[in-house]
Structure 1
Amino acid sequence: MSDISEFDDYDYDQESDDVMDLESIDGGSDFGNDIDGFDDVKPERVVRKPYEVAYEVLSTDDIKAREEALVAQTCNILGLTHDQALSLLLYFRWNNDRLLEQYTEDPSRILEKVGVLLDESGTDIRNYKLIAVDGFTCDICCEDNEGLFTFALECGHRFCQDCYKQYITQKIMEEGESRNIQCPDGTCSIVVNNEVIKLLVDPKVYERYQSLLTRTFVLDNDHMAWCPAPNCEYAVRCNDISTKDLDTIVPTVECKCGYRFCFGCGHSDHQPSTCMLVKKWLQKCQDDSETASWISANTKECPKCKAIIEKNGGCNHMTCRKCHYEFCWICSGSWPEHGVAWYNCSRYEDKASVEARDNQAKSRALLERYLHYYNRYANHEHSAKLDKDLFIRTEKKMMQLQSTSGMSWIEVQYLAQASKVLQECRETLKWTYAFAFYLARNNETHIFEDNQQDLELAVENLSLLFGKPIPELSELKVQIMDRTAYCSKRRENLLSDTAKGLQEGRWKYQTNVDVL
C-alpha cells in the first residue's frame, strides 16, 4: 500500500471551473405539471457541481401551506368555497392547470362529476346534517330505533350515523384512503367530501384524513417525492429533472434527515450509475442469469440426447447417464473413434469441435468478467455496512478521544466528518463497478478506471488511519483531515467527469441500456 504521506501537498482548491449554474439544466415538461403553484419565486443564483441538481427539502408544514395556498388560489379564480375547490383539486389530482382547462369548457359537468351541486344563483344546494327519519331501517346494521340519527349524500343512500362513521373511519384508519372514499352503497360512485368527513368522524380520525391528503399532494406531483427513509416526514421538490433526462443525469438529493437517494427512481444514492443501469445490474445480480452462465461455462450437452452433463473427474472419457452414449469431453466426438489414446484427440481441429470449445471459452470469459465486477461491488457494499457500523460507534470514540487528549468536542469533529466521507466514497465506489460492467472498452473507460483506482486507494488509506487505536488518533488529526479532504476531492473528480460524460454522450455501452 502506498505511503499516506504522498497526498500531503495536494491542492484542494483546484478545478474551480467544475461548476454549473443553477438554471443550466432545462427543467423539461414530461415529468408532469408543477401543481403547487410556487414557481414565481426564483432561487438565488448559485453554482453547483456537474453531478448535482437543484432541489428543495420541504417539511409537512411547508407542504400543508402550499396545499392551502393552491386551494385558496382555486377558490379566488373560480369563485368557489374551500370545500368545493378541494373536491375539484382532489378529483384532478391537484393539477390546477388541467382543472382550469376542463372547468372553463363545461363547469356544470365537472361540478356534477365531483358531487358539487349549485342552483341557478351559484349557491351550493347541499345541506349536510344528521336527521332522524320516521320508520327508517339502516341497510347495514338493520337498526330501526326511534330517533336514530341518519345521514345521506345527495345520492339519497341513507344509513345510520354509527354505520356511516364506522365506514369512513375504516377507510381512513385501516385502508389509508383519502381521495376516493365513496358512498357506502356499493352501486354508488358519489365521493364523500371533506365537509362530510369532518361532520361524521372523531377529531383524531379527521386529523389522519388531513395527513393523508397531504401525502396525496406530494404523490400526485411529479416534481415532488417523499423521502424513502423510515419514519421520515420530509419531502423533496426537484423541478429541474424530466423523465427524458434520466439517461444523462443521476438526480441525487439529500433529505434533512441525512438520507441520500435518487429522485428519479427512489433508490438510495447510486451515482455514477444511471437509473436504467442500476435496474439492469440489480436484476442481473438477483435473477437466474448467472446460474445459466455457470451452467454454460461448466457443463456440456450430451451430443446424442442433449442432456446437461457436468465433468466430475479428470478423465475425458464421458458416459451419459441418460442414454449411455460415450464421447470425448474435449471435442464431443464419439469415444470409440479415439481408442485408448484419448489424450491425442484426432478430432481436435474439427470445425464443430473448435466452435464448441470457443463457445465454452466465451461463456467462461463472460462469467469471469461478471464475477470480477460483482465481487468488487459486493466488497464495497460490505465495507460500507461496516463503515456505517463504525459511524455508529464514532461518537463513543470521539468522547473517549476528548477525555484522553484534552480536545474540545468541536476539535474531535474531524472523526465524524471522516466517517461520513468514508461511507459516501464506499457507496460511490460500489456503483462505479456496476457502471464499469456495462461500459465498452475505449480511452474514456481507461480514464474512468484511473479515477476509480485513485479514489479506491485514497479510501483505503483513510480507512487505515481511521481504524487506528484511540491514543494515536490525536496525533493523526492533521493526516486524517488531509485524507478526508483528498477522498472528497477524488470522489468529486470521478463524479464530475462521469456526469459530464453522460451529458455529452461520451460513454459507450456494451449493451442496450434503454431496455431490460
Structure 2
Amino acid sequence: MEDSFSGDEDYYYSDRDSLDGLENDEADLQWVPPKGSSTKVITRESLLAAQKEDLRRVMELLSLREHHARTLLIHYRWDVEKLLAVLVENGKESLFNEAGVTVIDDADPMLPLSSTVMCDICMEEVAGDKATKMDCGHCFCNDCWTEHFIVKINEGQSKRIRCMAHKCNAICDEAVVRNLVSKKHPNLAEKFERFLLESFIEDNKMVKWCPSTPHCGNAIRVEEVEVCEVECACGAQFCFSCLSEAHSPCSCSMWDLWAKKCRDESETVNWITVHTKPCPKCHKPVEKNGGCNLVSCICGQAFCWLCGGATGRDHTWSRIAGHSCGRYKEDKAKKTERAKRELYRYMHYHNRYKAHTDSFKLESKLKETVLEKVSISEERESRLRDFSWVTNGLYRLFRSRRVLSYSYPFAFYMFGEELFKDEMTDEEREIKQHLFEDQQQQLEANVEKLSKFLEEPFDQYPDDKVMEIRMQVINLSVITDTLCKKMYECIENDLLGCLQLGTHNIARYQSKGIERASELSTCWTSVNTTTDKRQRSDADTSGNLEVY
C-alpha cells in the first residue's frame, strides 16, 4: 500500500489565511521534500561511484591497493565504521590476517622470463611467464590458477577466492583473476566483474535492492541501520528491514506472520488444526475416518491418534500392541471451541484491515475527482484563490488511513497469545488493549470525518459553505496527524517498549510521509592523486589491474 501522493509532485501548505489558533499546527504539517535526503538511490550508473567512495576511504587511510581495500570491505560487509573500529582495537596486522589480506611491500610479483618454475599442483615445470605469483608468495602455473578461478566463480565464491596453497588464507588478486579467466572464458570474467560490483549491495547492510516488480534496477542506501521505511525513485515504498511493503505500525515479524496468515486462508488452517494430526513420519495432515485410535498415513506409517506417536500395526479394540498413552483423553470439544474462538478473532481484525485497505484504494481514485473540483473552483469568480488545503487534506487522509489499516494486524498479534503470551498477565493485556483501542477508535472516527468532508461537492457551493468545509478539513488534518503521533508513541513506549524481548521494532511515524530517496550523484572527486598514480603504476606492472 503506497501513499497516493508519492511521486514527482510536491504538495505543501501555502494557505496563509488559515484558522486562528491553527497556524502553528498547520505549519508543522507542511509537507515539503526534505533538504538533503538521508537515503540515496543507487542506480546502475551510480553503483560504481558509490562503491568507489568507500574503497577510496580505505585505500587512503591504509595506503592499500584497490583489490586489498575491496577484500577488507567485503570481509567486513562494506561497513567502513566497523573496519575502522577493528583497526583501532586490534591493529593493522590482525585486521589484515582476519580478512585474508597479505601486503608485502618489498615483494617482487614478476618472475624472470628466463627462469622455470615447478608447479606444486600439476607437478610440471613451466616457463616463468607461464606462472603467476600471488601477494602471499605462492606461485603456480597459469593453467592451474585459471582452473581454480573458474571452479570458484561457478561455485559463487567470486568475492573471496583464496590461494590454492595448503592452509593459505590469502585472497587472490582480482586483477590476476580477471586477466587469466578472460583469456579462456570472457563471459565468466564478466560474471566475476559483476559479482565484485554487486557485492557492494549484496553484502552491505546499509544498501538493499529495491523490491519493486518488475525490478527497477535501483538500490537504496541509508545512513543509519535502523527500522525505517523508504521510497525508491521508481515510486515503490517499502520497509528497509524486511523489504516487504511499508507496514508500520506493524513490526516486521508481525507483518510476516499476518501476510502468511492471509495467504494461507486461516479458516482452512484452523479446520486442519482441529480435525487432523500430522503423521510422525512424513508430517502430512491425516484425518481420522473411523472409531479406532490406530490410524495409518498414506506413506504407510501407523500412529496413535490420541498422542500422535508412531506405533506398529498390531492392536485390539482396547489397546495398541507395545504402546500406551496412559489415561490421557483428548478434550476434542474444548479444542474445537478454542479454534473457533481464534477464527472469530482473526475474522474481526481481518475484516477491519480489509475495510480500511479497500477504503484506501477507493480514496486514491478520489484524488483525480477532488483535483478536478479544485480546478473548477479556481476558474470561477470567487474570493477564495488558494485551495492547497484540499490537496493537504487528501494527503493527510491517505497517510492516516494507511496507519489505521496496519494498526489492526498489529493489534491482532499484540493482544493475542501467539507472540506475547508470557510477556503480560491477562489483566495487563486487557488494560493495554483498552488503551490502544481507545486511540484507534478516535483516529478511525476522525479519518472518516475527513473523508466525508473531502468528498463534498465544494465546487458547487457558495464561498461561505466552502469556508466551513475548509475549516473542518484543516482542523481534521491537524487532529488526525496528532492522533497518529500519539498512537505511535503509545506503541513504542507503553506496548512494545515494556516487553523484555526487544525484537519488535517499528519504523518511526513521519508526518511528512515516507522519505523519498534522492539519487546518488555519479560524479565523485579524486581525493588522493598519489593513490591514483600508484594504482596506474600497479596496473602497468601486473598488466591487467583496471581502475574503474
1:174-198 Cα distance to aligned partner (Å, 9 max, x none): 8876522457999997644332255
- Alignment partner of 1:80: what SS? coil
Task: After TM superposition, list the pairs within 5 Å mapping 1:454-469 onto structure 2.
Answer: 454-458=445-449, 460-461=451-452, 464=455
Post-superposition CA distance 1:90-135 (Å, at most 9, x none): 333334225525873636x9369636351xxx23432499x99999
Shift of 1:151: 6.2
**How many aligned residue pairs are there?**
397
> Of the candidates 258, 270, 287, which is equivalent to residue 247 of structure 2?
270
Matches within 5 A, 1:319-398: 322=291, 362-384=338-360, 390=365, 394=368
Q: Deviations over 1:258-315 (max 9, x none)?
A: 333223333221122223332343344345765454468899xxxxxxx989xxxxxx
Aligned equivalent of 1:228, options 192, 195, 211: 211
Question: Residues 385-426 of structure 1, C-alpha deviation per residue, up to 9 Å, x if partnerless?
Answer: 5666x49x959x97999799969xx99999887776555444
Query: Residues 294 and 88 of structure 1: is their aligned pair in 2 closer, same or farther, counting only changes over 3 Å?
Result: closer
Deviation of 1:254 after TM superposition, in Å, equals 3.3
Equivalent position to 1:495, from 446, 459, 484: 484
Spell out the pairing of 1:132-281 with structure 2 (5 A cutoff).
152=132, 154=134, 155-160=138-143, 167=150, 171=153, 178-181=158-161, 191-197=171-177, 199=179, 201=182, 212-229=195-212, 230-239=215-224, 241=226, 251-281=228-258
Structure 2: state its 5+ residue gaps: 1-17, 277-285, 293-330, 416-428, 505-548
- Which residue is 1:441 aligned to? 430
- Alignment check: 8 A CA contact 2:274 2:339 kept: yes
Q: For the residues of structure 2 that align with 1:100 and 1:510, how far apart are their CA atoms?
A: 36
Give the drift of 1:84. Answer: 2.9
Higher relative contact order (CA 8 A, sep 6+): 2
The 1-side partners of 2:499 and 2:268 are apart by 21
Structure 2 contact 353–405 (Cα < 8 Å) conserved: yes
Query: Secondary structure of 2:430's partner?
Result: coil
The answer on whether the counterparts of 2:40 and 2:220 sit within 8 Å (CA) in structure 1 is yes
TM-superposed CA distance for 1:231, in Å, is 1.2
Letter in 1 for 2:62: L
TM-score normalised to structure 1 length: 0.55
Match of 1:432 among 398, 407, 418: 407
CA contact (8 A) 2:100 2:169 kept: no
Aligned residue in 2 for 1:57: 40
Is this contact kept in 1: 2:353–2:409, CA < 8 A? yes
State the one-letter code of the partner of 1:96.
Answer: L
Deviation at 1:221, TM superposition (A): 4.1
Note the C-alpha offset of 1:161: 11
Task: Give the residue type in structure 2 aligned to 1:434.
Answer: P
- 1:116 maps onto 2:92 in alignment: no
- 1:125 pairs with 108, 123, 134, which one? 108
In 2, Cα distance between the equivalents of 1:361 and 1:510? 30
Asked if structure 1 preserves the Cα contact closer than 8 Å seen for 2:210 and 2:218, the reply is yes
CA distance in 2, matches of 1:290, 1:176: 42
- C-alpha displacement at 1:374, in angstroms? 0.9
Partner of 2:508: none
Q: CA deviation at 1:457?
A: 1.0
Which residue type is aligned with residue 194 of structure 1?
E
Shift of 1:167: 3.5
Offset at residue 156 of structure 1 (A): 3.7
Task: Give the Å deviation of 1:219.
Answer: 4.5
What's 1:349 paired with?
A: none
What's the CA shift for 1:456? 4.3
Whether the aligned pair in 2 keeps the contact of 1:182 and 1:191 (CA below 8 Å) is: yes
| Displacement after TM superposition at 1:433 (Å) | 0.9
TM-score norm. by structure 2 comes to: 0.52
- The CA RMSD measured in Å over matched residues stands at 6.0
- Distance, in Å, in 2 between the alignment partners of 1:475 and 1:123 is 85
In the TM superposition, what is the alpha-carbon distance from 1:497 to its structure 2 partner? 1.0
Q: Kindly indicate whether the alpha-carbon contact (under 8 Å) linking 1:418 and 1:481 is maintained by their aligned counterparts in 2.
A: no
Q: Is the 8 A contact 1:56 1:236 kept in 2?
A: yes
Counterpart-to-counterpart distance in 2, 1:112 and 1:365: 55
SS at match of 1:57: strand
Q: Matched residues in 2 for 1:412 and 1:151: separation? A: 76
Distance 2:164 2:269 in 1: 53
Q: Aligned equivalents of 2:144 and 2:375: distance in 1?
A: 64
Aligned to 1:505: 494
Please give the alpha-carbon distance, in whole angstroms, between the structure 2 residues aligned to 1:63 and 1:271.
29
1:26-105 equivalence runs, <5 A? 55-60=38-43, 64-65=48-49, 67-94=51-78, 95-97=82-84, 100-101=87-88, 104=91
Q: Residues of 2 paired with 1:62 and 1:428: CA distance? A: 34
What is the CA–CA distance in structure 2 between the aligned matches of 1:416 and 1:17, rounded to whole Å?
A: 15
